[in-house]
């Protein structure tokens, strides 16, 4: 990569989540003069207002770029080592930016949970990214870092403990307090609209291997209906992020050369508690479609600072080897998962790419193969995440 003016450009910095990313960088890296970053969006006036509101330095550069003007995206990409974008739904506003980054050799990180669009970008631009050296990394927020890196961490620990990988991992969300973002709701609606127009999108959304072109693994465990887990003593409900997280986990296995095995089994569900109360909660979660309702949060809307600060999540991973050995690990995070924690995770992903994983080659990546242990270390040091072995 030729010398660039900025290490990171935060595109969408005047939006709700982009503002949180800019605020995090301005606070966490205030004393790091070697990190050169800028705020980007459609309106320089709005960017300046946000810069002042979050207390960032008056010298923080502002870059004007608009998703409807591809030339401005190309110009922005050429100025940065990595473009961090929170401008979604990505299937509506992201394709030209991915194309620009793949073409100019610029690294790219986003918060995408739209597998139909991600597959389109893999098919269209992976060749360009490999040629230019651009590392395109999707899903660098709550979907799917705690889950993708959680599986990666467990498998690393299983190798240390047993000398072999786990052939099956069950992911169980133990606790979570927080709101899903307006961007998540908008992305889901855009994806459903795309499926309505093109029935082939439905098949892609149903497949856990939608992001592993040319590779299909074993039939995966069902996690779409409430069930009781005798071992954990709790009811389980479908987890709303599972359709994207599972695809990213299988893509990581694919990109890493199948260290988890070609018949690796993975499932995600949410614990709702024991007894009748747990059963009722599981059924309520399974039937909830609030993200598709008119009352769902809109892009640019989000929880208060107090709500973000008091949020958290705790995710359990149970791995089993072919010989029946079992290992339990967990990933937890402070702050609201969809906003407070997500803004920290994507910021650290961008920094990790350019500082810690210069050896990762160009291509379209997930977080585990692109950054792996280096990102786990960075998230634990800076972003409030904890990766633990529980037994």
Domain end position, chosen among 309, 335, 361: 335
pLDDT confidence tier of residue 42, bands split at 50, 70 and 90:
very high
The answer to whether residue 291 scores a pLDDT higher than 80 is no
Integer angstrom CA distances of residue 347 from 30, 280, 300? 14, 38, 19
Indicate if 168 and 98 belong to the same structural domain.
Answer: no
pLDDT value at residue 294: 67
**298 and 167 belong to one structural domain:** yes
pLDDT bracket for residue 299 (50, 70, 90): low
The tally of CA atoms less than 13 A away on the side-chain side of residue 305 is 4
Averaged pLDDT, 206-220: 95
Domain membership flag for residue 265: yes
Quick check: is 264 in a domain?
Answer: yes
User: Do 187 and 251 fall within a single domain?
Assistant: yes
Q: What is the pLDDT of residue 302?
A: 75
Q: 231: buried, middle or exposed (CB in 10 Å: 19+, 13-18, 0-12)?
A: exposed
pLDDT tens for 144-157 read 999 999 999 999 99
State the chain's mean pLDDT as an integer. Answer: 93
pLDDT of 325 reads 98
In this prediction, what percent of the chain has a pLDDT beyond 70?
Answer: 95
Residues 126 and 153 grouped into a single domain: no
Q: What is the pLDDT of residue 39?
A: 98
Hey, is 220 helix, strand or coil? coil
Which has the closest alpha carbon to 149: 348, 363, 358, 355?
348
Q: pLDDT grade, residue 296 (50/70/90)? A: low
Give yes or no: residues 92 and 236 share one domain. no
- Whether 84 and 211 share a structural domain: no
Mean pLDDT for the stretch of residues 57-75: 97
Answer whether residue 2 shows pLDDT above 70: no
Q: With beta carbons less than 8 A apart as the criterion, state whether 139 and 108 touch.
A: no
Question: Could you give the angle at the alpha carbon of 323 between the alpha carbons of 320 and 327, nearest 5°?
Answer: 30
- With a cut of 90, say whether residue 40 has pLDDT above it: yes
206 and 137 within one domain? no
Q: Are residues 108 and 151 in the same domain?
A: no
Residue 42 has φ and ψ, to the nearest 5°, of -75, -35
**pLDDT grade, residue 194 (50/70/90)?**
confident
Whole-number pLDDT of residue 338: 86
Q: Comparing C-alpha atoms, which of 91, 321, 327, 291 is closest to residue 197?
A: 91
CATH of the domain at 108: 3.40.50.720
Q: Would residue 56 count as lying in a domain?
A: yes
Question: Are residue 177 and residue 195 in the same domain, yes or no?
Answer: yes
Tally of domains within the chain: 2
User: Across residues 221-248, what is the average pLDDT?
Assistant: 94
Based on the fold, state whether residues 314 and 349 are members of the same structural domain.
no
Q: pLDDT at residue 38 above 80?
A: yes
CA distance 131 to 129: 5
Backbone angles phi, psi at 278, to 5 degrees: -65, -40
**318 and 360, same structural domain?**
no
Select from 335, 358, 386 the last residue of a domain: 335
The answer as to whether 377 is a domain residue is: no
Same domain, 165 and 280: yes
- Digit-coded pLDDT (tens) for 97-120: 999 999 999 999 999 999 999 999
Residue 366, pLDDT score: 98
Range of the domain at 352: 6-141+344-369
Residue at 378 is within a domain: no
Answer yes or no: is pLDDT of 271 > 90.
yes
């Amino acid at each position: 990569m030729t010398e660039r003016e900025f290490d990171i450009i935060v595109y969408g910095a005047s939006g709700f989540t982009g503002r949180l990313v800019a605020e995090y960088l301005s606070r966490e890296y205030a004393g790091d003069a070697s990190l050169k970053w800028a705020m980007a969006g459609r309106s320089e006036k709005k960017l300046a207002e946000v810069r002042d509101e979050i207390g960032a330095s008056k010298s923080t550069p502002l870059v004007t770029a608009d998703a409807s003007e591809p030339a401005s995206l190309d110009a922005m990409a050429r100025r940065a080592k990595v473009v961090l974008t929170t401008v979604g739904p990505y299937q509506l506003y992201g394709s030209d930016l991915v194309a620009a980054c793949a073409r100019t050799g610029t690294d790219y990180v986003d918060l995408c949970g739209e597998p139909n669009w991600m597959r389109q970008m893999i098919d269209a631009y992976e060749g360009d990214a490999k040629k230019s050296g651009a590392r395109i990394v999707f899903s660098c927020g709550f979907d799917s870092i705690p889950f993708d890196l959680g599986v990666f961490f467990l498998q690393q620990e299983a190798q240390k403990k047993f000398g072999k990988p786990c052939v099956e991992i069950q992911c169980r969300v133990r606790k979570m307090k927080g709101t899903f973002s307006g961007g998540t709701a908008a992305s889901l609606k855009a994806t459903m609209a795309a499926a309505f127009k093109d029935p082939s999108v439905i098949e892609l959304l149903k497949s856990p291997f939608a992001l592993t072109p040319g590779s299909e693994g074993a039939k995966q465990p069902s996690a779409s209906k409430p069930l009781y887990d005798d071992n954990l003593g709790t009811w389980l409900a479908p987890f709303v992020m599972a359709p994207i997280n599972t695809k990213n986990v299988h893509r990581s296995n694919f990109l890493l050369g199948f260290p988890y095995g070609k018949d690796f089994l993975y499932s995600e569900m949410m614990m709702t508690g024991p007894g009748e109360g747990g059963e009722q909660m599981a059924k309520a979660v399974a039937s909830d479609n609030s993200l598709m309702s008119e009352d769902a949060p809109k892009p640019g809307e989000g929880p208060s600072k107090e709500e973000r600060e008091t949020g958290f999540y705790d995710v359990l991973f149970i791995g089993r080897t072919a010989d029946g050995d079992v290992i339990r690990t967990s990933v937890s995070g402070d702050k609201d998962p969809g906003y407070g924690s997500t803004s920290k995770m994507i910021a650290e992903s961008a920094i990790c790419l350019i500082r810690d994983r210069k050896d990762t080659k160009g291509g379209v990546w997930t977080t585990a193969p692109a950054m792996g242990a280096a990102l786990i270390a960075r998230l634990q040091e800076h972003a409030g995440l904890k990766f633990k072995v529980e037994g």
